[in-house]
Chain A
Amino acid sequence: MPVVRDETLSIQSDDDVVRVRQVTRRWALDMRFRLVDQTKVITAASELARNTLIHGGGGTVRLEAMHNSGRRGLRLTFEDKGPGIADIEHAVTDGYSTGGGLGLGLGGAKRLSNEFEISSVPGQGTRVTITRWM
């Protein structure tokens, strides 16, 4: 899958969460996503950026624009070196929360994306990758 452009942002404060939203929006606009798809991918990015900050103690997001035989997609990879998630299946379930939120972050981001991958090692960190195709 050829990556035609990429950018990595740091997530260390709630200003950075806003910045992740703004940069994701700019990318989605540049790639000419439809308005509803733009809104979905920005919202998913916002949820995951906040997770990275609150549960992961900060981390990074890497944005990648992908082109594959006429198909275009935006892939976002969130990584942290936080405590990790022991029970991933449980964490993706709606209503499960350890951060005092609604527990919609992971499950919601998954529903708003076309592809969703999560891997986590307790004590080492978490990586979540979402892709939205046009």
Chain B
Amino acid sequence: MTDDKSAAERIPILKMGEFLLVTIQVEMHDRLVMALQEELTEAIVAHQSRGVLIDISALEIVDSFIGRALGNIASMARVLDAETVVVGMRPAVAITLVELGLSLPGVRTALDAEKGMALIRRSMRPSGGAAGARRS
């Protein structure tokens, strides 16, 4: 029963070319946050993704647990040669986060998905010389 529940609550990870797109639209249980870290790193490797876009526009709050998880995801992705951009943070969430003492060090942010995608494209390091050499 517990298994059914956690399967139903999984956060979908969509593949879009070289990118992975994660749209968080459910209430973030702590265990769901932990599951996302694992599944996302697996997906980066499986799809050889170069960028991860995490849309948090539906999140009404980001507390220290969720904030730390976003930081962890960005670090793990970087080690796997992928850039992470968190997009769509609500203004009230930004104000609260900073007051909480969390400035999300190491997490790149953009106002919306389009700007986030552009940011990842610009920052993608060409691996070994020419861009896209990794696919050769």
Q: What chain A residues lie within 8 Å of B99 (beta carbons)?
A: 40, 108, 111-112
| Contact call B92/A102, Cβ cutoff below 8 A | no
Cβ of A66 within 8 Å of any chain B Cβ, yes or no, is: no
Cβ of B80 within 8 Å of any chain A Cβ, yes or no, is: no
| Contact call B61/A43, Cβ cutoff below 8 A | yes
Summarize B's interface: helix, strand, loop or mixed. Answer: helix
Cβ of A70 within 8 Å of any chain B Cβ, yes or no, is: no
Q: Size of chain A's interface in residues, with CB distance under 8 A? A: 26
| Contact call B64/A40, Cβ cutoff below 8 A | no
Cβ of B30 within 8 Å of any chain A Cβ, yes or no, is: yes
| Contact call A101/B95, Cβ cutoff below 8 A | no
Known contacts: A14-B31, A18-B27, A111-B100. The answer to whether A39 contacts B64 by CB under 8 A is no
Nearest residue (CB) in B for A37 is B92
Cβ of A104 within 8 Å of any chain B Cβ, yes or no, is: yes
Can you offer 8 A-B residue contacts whose CB atoms are under 8 A?
A: A21-B61, A36-B91, A39-B95, A40-B96, A42-B61, A47-B64, A50-B63, A101-B65
Give the distance to chain B from A40, nearest Cβ to Cβ, in Å.
Answer: 5
| Contact call A108/B100, Cβ cutoff below 8 A | yes
Nearest residue (CB) in B for A40 is B96
Q: What chain B residues lie within 8 Å of A38 (beta carbons)?
A: 92
CA distance A14 to B95 in the complex (A): 25
Q: What chain B residues lie within 8 Å of A73 (beta carbons)?
A: none
Q: What chain B residues lie within 8 Å of A42 (beta carbons)?
A: 60-61
Give the distance to chain A from B106, nearest Cβ to Cβ, in Å.
Answer: 13
| Contact call B96/A39, Cβ cutoff below 8 A | yes
* 8 A Cβ contacts from A7-26 to B: 14-15, 17-18, 21-22, 25
